[in-house]
Amino acid sequence: MNMLKTTMLLAALTALFMALGYTLGGSSGAVLSLLVAAGMNLFTYWNADKIVLKMHNAREVDAQSEPSFHGLVANLARRANMPMPKVYLIDSPHPNAFATGRNPENAAVAATTGLMAMLSRDEVEGVMAHELAHVKNRDTLIMTMVATIAGALSMLANFGMFFRSERNGMATILAVLIAPFAAMIVQLAISRTREYGADRTGAEMSGKPLALASALAKISRGAAAIPNPVAERNPSAAQLYIVPTHVSEMFSTHPATENRIAELEALAEQMGAASGVAPRRSALDPLGRQ
């Protein structure tokens, strides 16, 4: 279902791009913008993992330096029948995690020391399963495609503002103002769909949806209280994390944490019913109530 939604939204974004090109009355500008945007995003696609990991001063760990954490990720990768990703730790009190890499064969997952200290082992397992789910679902590739089309559309809109004709001037102005905003809405919808998909896939991978729900609640509270210098210097980095920081909910690529927790609680009920075992809840529920 998530893939169907993503496909439909990608089609809508492509149609929006084509409609703007038609409104501007020419194909050459649209093709040029698409090629330039594709080139920019292709460079990012091949180098994003190196850029992101260096930005966070992440250090690679292995079975010798971090046997518990590395072993946890290795076990999840085996369970999901995935190639073993590179594993990184980030020395920061800010609790968060992310995945990067252009495909499952060239992937990396990272977590902060703050996250490791704040969460239980089951919760860390839930978080890393979510990040591996992004890799397994090839969300990096999908979001690169989305960014390519959205970027090309914005460039085409700028092109239209400079080269609009008198004959369709008003239509062009309306198009170049509305199209980028509409593209942003579609882009956010695709991103949020992929987050729900990673939550579900990760919960099924770990078999502990309530642990992931509890982790999301803790990370959300911790991320709001503990500064993240990397995200403050580079606001775009905030959207990498399992819970984004200092981003308006309206313009966030992630669904509201409360909605994600509700979906995971419903999944826990389904999984419990399927196995004939009621899901176990801790004394402190995922929303932080006693």
Choosing from 123, 131, 195, 265, which is the catalytic residue?
131
CB 87 within 8 A of CB 69: yes
CB 137 within 8 A of CB 194: yes
Axis-axis angle for helices 67-79, 121-136 (nearest 10): 50
Q: How far from 158 is each of 2, 24, 147, 180, CA to CA, in Å?
A: 32, 11, 16, 10
The answer to whether residue 131 is catalytic is yes
Q: Which residues are catalytic?
A: 131
